[in-house]
Amino acid sequence: MLASLAKAFDQAAVREIEVEYLGRSGKFNDIMKSLKDLSDEEKRTVGKLANVSKIELEAAVQNKYSMLESAAFDVIADTEWMDVTVPGKKPELGHRHLISKFIDDLEVIFGRMGFSVAEGPDVETEHYNFDQLNMPSDHPSRDMQDTFWIKNLNRMVLRTQTSPVQIRHMESHEPPIRIIGMGKTFRKDNDATHSPMFHQIEGLMVDTDVSIANLKAVLTHFLQQVFEDSSIKTRFRTSYFPFVEPGMEVDCTCPICHGEGKLSDGVPCTLCKQCGWLEIGGAGMVHPKVLENVGYDSNKYTGFAFGFGIDRMAMIKYRINHLRLLFENDLRFITQF
């Protein structure tokens, strides 16, 4: 038995040997049964011997079991070991996109001035995107905005501007009105400073006695807050947008060279191309026709509106030189903010 035990290489083989020798009908019991044919004297000596060797054999079996078990553990330890002192892999944590965070900042700045946020859909009707804004279909001003029309949807567009938010809000609210609307806008443009999708912030204030002075105060304060620079000045140049009268382009002094056109060491400022001013967006006094379109009395109410490029302001503030970096989702860029 001991010889076959030594050769057994797994637990099943040991079990077989154990049954063969020590089982109820095993060889050992055969010996015990044969004791009855011996004399009393012989029974005593052989019986004693048998008991001793049975205990020894049982111990040998248990010993073999535990040897096999520890050999199995050795195999696992060799093949499945791991170094628990190796530092773990840190999961990459994402964060909100620069533009999303910037939009939150804009909301806070206007919130402090009493403006609340209004919303409108990205896919607009021609009615809200153009008609109600005094841009009828035969009007040349429509050509100012290269429009994505939605195929098979009756006169629907990807909104070319956030200005339809003004109309939607005025239709469902009475003055006094102080809102901003922010979000995606779409035009068929594509170069270093234009992309087919970009973000705008729209502002609208309507009340009795709203004047250009209010417009200038709000926008100047806003730009000083955005660029965190209280020395920023604004400039308004006459321009044309069909839904305002008068209409203007809004410029602010360049936050990098502080309107000097060159940096403190005399190096020419490349952001404003040495002119000291940056164009930020459009603005104006809400056209009486637009007020009438939403059922307001244009003799009683006046208002101002403005529309700025959010991406452009973020690019100026964070010194980003290519618009597409904002939308390509390259982690080397995104994780910098």
Query: Which residues of this chain interact with ligand PHE, rule CB under 6 A?
Result: 161, 163, 241, 244, 247, 282-284, 305-307
AA letter at 282: G
Of 18 and 166, which has the nearer Cβ to ligand PHE?
166
Between 201 and 320, CB nearer to ligand PHE: 201
> Closest separation between CB of residue 231 and ligand PHE, Å?
26
Name beta bridge partners: 200. Answer: 183, 309
Output the smallest distance, CB 160 to ligand PHE, in A.
7
CA atoms of 308 and 202, how far apart (whole Å) = 7
Contact 278, 272 (CB under 8 A): yes
CB of 264 to ligand PHE, least distance (A): 34
| Closest by Cα among 82, 89, 79, 63 to 1 | 63
How many angstroms separate the CA atoms of 242 and 229, rounded?
32
- Cα-Cα-Cα-Cα dihedral sign, residues 130, 135, 140, 144: negative
Cβ of residue 317: shortest distance to ligand PHE, in angstroms? 20
Strand partners, 207: 302
Contact 161, 129 (CB under 8 A): yes
Which residue, 23 or 246, has its beta carbon nearer to ligand PHE?
246
Nearest position to ligand PHE, beta carbon: 307
Cβ-based nearer residue to ligand PHE, 164 or 259: 164
- Alpha carbons 202 and 182: distance in angstroms, whole number: 6
Q: How far is the CB of 133 from ligand PHE (least distance, A)?
A: 8
Minimum distance from residue 204 beta carbon to ligand PHE (Å):
8
Identify which of residues 43 and 216 has a Cβ nearer to ligand PHE in the complex: 216
SS3 of the chain: helix, strand, coil, percent, to 5: 40, 20, 35
Q: Are 199 and 184 in contact (CB under 8 A)?
A: yes
- Enter the tokens of residue 151: 């195929």
Residue type, 24: R
Instruction: Give CA–CA dist 311/192, Å, rounded.
Output: 12
Round to whole Å and give the CA distance between 189 and 183. Answer: 17
Least distance in Å: CB of 244 to ligand PHE? 5
| CB of 61 or CB of 244, closer to ligand PHE | 244
Nearer to ligand PHE, 205 or 254 (CB): 205
Q: Is the peptide bond before 176 cis (omega within 30 degrees of 0)?
A: yes
